[in-house]
Amino acid sequence: MKLLVNKATVLPFAVAAAMLAFGTPQVEAQGFFDMLFGGGVKHAPPKDNFPPPPSKYKPKAPAASGGGGGAQISSPSYYTYKSDPLVRVDFSALSAAPEPATPQDAAFEPTATGAAFREAIAGLDGYDLYAEKDIAKALIAYYSANPDFIWVTGTSPNSRAEDAVRVLGEAASYGLTPADYTVEVPAAGVSAGNADERLKELVRFEMAMSARVLRYARDAQSGRVDPNRITGYYDFPPKPLDMEGVLKTLAHTQQVRTYLESRHPQNSEYQALRVELESLQASAEDEIVVDPNLLLKPGQTSPELPKLLTRIARSLDDEMGGAYGEVLAKLATSEVYDPELVPVIKAVQKRAGMKGDGVIGPRTVASLAGTSKADKIQKVRVALEELRWLPSDLGSPRVFINQPAFTASYIDDGEEKLKTRAVVGRPTNQTAFFYDQIEQVDFHPYWGVPQSILVNEMLPRLRRDPGYLDRAGYEVVNARGKRIPSSSVNWGAYGAKIPYGVRQLPSEANALGELKILFPNKHAIYMHDTPQKSFFQRDMRALSHGCVRLQDPRGMAAAVLGTSVDYIEDRLKHGHSTEDVTRKIPVYVAYFTAWPDLSGTVEYFNDVYGRDTRLQQALDSTEAVRSPAS
């Protein structure tokens, strides 16, 4: 009887044997693997797992030594955000002729006010209205094809205008700036013999109103800034808005509030953040300040403990209150960290995404009492802006990765079916912020070494030890796809552009562990297992090269494939293979320092990459451009 052996199943043993046979120093090899785990993340991986040099990276200037010895491949950068300047709306196309300057819209039906509108157009001469370029263009296009008032009836602003003004005035409840949408409303009534002046006032109000409503609708739908202009780590498709269509809709509906509010994201997370913002704005600044450097172990004493316990008691939900309310009430004034309080602290730590060791340290304090009211308001406003970059409907099922929380969740039918700890990119190898769709699970995967890691981290050793890759479980191929020995390559001849592909074979030491979950994207980011299990015990888990490592990769693979963990375990027994994800499952590789759980409770996280500050700078730039607008 022949014994059939799956080639992939023996690879881990073959690689290990090869390393022993060649006498590779284990400590040194493992240290090098530790440095590389997580995978490169800055370019799209080709299907053969041998990535070519990514064009988006600009190599630094090579050193003077031969072969470009100092060449490096740089990470994406942050940019100085510059908002587009406003333009003066050119009304000459409207005032040049009494009839529409362009063919009338097929749906346009003249009203009794149409003649008054055409007469009023002359009042736009000399009117300085500034708006975004596309909004200015849409205004002229719409009113050329639909020469009539939307916001005026007779000699006064109508009910549509009243509703719109109220909505614009409530912009702060969405984290927007009301001043960006301010319109001066004409006073009621008109003096006898002053009809011409009133008509001029009304037509100018009409144009200003439409310009600010369009700004509001666009801001609500897609945000006030273009995230892709903040940094190369942001990657979002445009969310185009048919501005002429917006004005057409508003001209034919009395449900102005309903329509404008529908431009905002329509998901529960957005609503929960709005509720949190309203609650924060209505609350008083918390008078309890806890020493941010507090370090307290069970049995120790500190006058800061009662303050912390008070903060915990204030934030209890029904579940936590039922479990720990009695203990907190009994020991609320205790300065001794009684053992009875340890389960309370552990539960609070776990809810905040920490490991729950029961030791009260700076991170525990920060999660409970380290974020001021002003900081929380700022984080919520930033989160509302970021949510406007995402689809209005986030989808179900979906996978949601929140980088500052270091967690990944599988959510289906409004329920968090799986939540696992995650490791994301370190500040020097940041994980991008984008969304995509999950397509495939790879079992016992190959790791195609990105050029950034090959050049920046492997190349210096390969110049000294060209055969290293042969011994350490890697394959090298040339431009024709032919496998060649690593020792045959003159690595010293290359700088930032290496004409070879390198991949690590499946093994126990493979940087991706036993499986990876793919959603092909230009950043080459995916979810995967890792041999570095100890990283999940840390509270701060920005430790990888940019990919997302999961503490429970089998659970996530089972979730996205719609199967069981037992099935995943069985597939792993049969070596390298792949399986397509047949359902539509969006994945959000997100970055929110304020984010609600499914019950609506908002949690706050550290801005590990400093991105909130960058976004605020972009928002400030936008406000500075808009502030002189009339």
What pTM was estimated for this model as a whole? 0.80
Residue among 341, 376, 538, 519 at smallest CA distance from 440 = 519
Q: Is there a contact between 433 and 234 (Cβ–Cβ < 8 Å)?
A: yes
Average pLDDT, the chain: 85
CA distance 202 to 210: 12
What does the alpha-carbon distance between residue 200 and residue 184 come to, in Å, rounded to a whole number? 14
pLDDT tens digits for range 388-423 = 999 999 999 999 999 999 999 999 999 999 999 999
The pLDDT tens digits of the residues spanning 313-347 come to: 877 777 777 788 888 888 989 999 999 999 999 98
Predicted pLDDT of residue 575: 92
Higher model confidence: residue 97 or residue 542?
542
**What residue ranges do the domains of the chain occupy?**
7-58+405-487+495-594, 87-224+237-265, 305-371
Q: Please choose, from the candidates 426, 405, 425, 424, the residue with its C-alpha nearest in 3D space to the C-alpha of residue 353.
A: 405
CB atoms within 10 A of CB 610: 12
* Per-residue confidence (pLDDT) for residue 142, from 0 to 100: 97
> What pLDDT is stored for residue 220 in this prediction?
98
- In this predicted model, what pLDDT tens digit does every residue of 566-604 receive, in sequence order? 999 999 999 999 999 999 999 999 999 999 999 999 999
Return the minimum-mean-pLDDT range out of 56-60, 271-275, 414-418, 537-541.
Answer: 56-60
CA distance 438 to 235: 17
SS3 state of residue 162: helix
Percent of the chain at pLDDT > 90 equals: 64
pLDDT of 627 reads 87
- What is the identity of the amino acid at 616? Q
Give, in degrees to the nearest 5, the angle at Cα 584 between 583 and 590: 130
Residue range 152-177, pLDDT digits in tens: 999 999 999 999 999 999 999 999 99
Alpha-carbon distances, residue 498 vs 44, 429, 457 (angstroms): 17, 21, 13
pLDDT beyond 50 at 53: no
Element (H, E) at 325: helix 318-330
- Give the range among 378-382, 446-450, 588-592 with minimum mean pLDDT: 446-450
Mean pLDDT of 18-46: 34
Amino acid in the structure at residue 191: S
What pLDDT is stored for residue 370 in this prediction? Answer: 67
Q: Average pLDDT, stretch 512-518?
A: 95
Q: 602 Cβ partners below 8 Å, 6+ apart?
A: 272, 273, 276, 380, 594, 595, 596
> What are the DSSP calls for 192-223, one per residue?
TT-HHHHHHHHHHHHHHHHHHHHHHHHHHHH-
**Range with the poorest average pLDDT among 87-91, 103-107, 295-299:** 103-107
Rounded distance, CA 342 to CA 299, Å? 10
Of 63-67, 124-128, 445-449, the least confident = 63-67
Q: How far apart are the C-alpha atoms of 153 and 162, rounded to whole Å?
A: 12
- Residue 349 pLDDT > 90: no
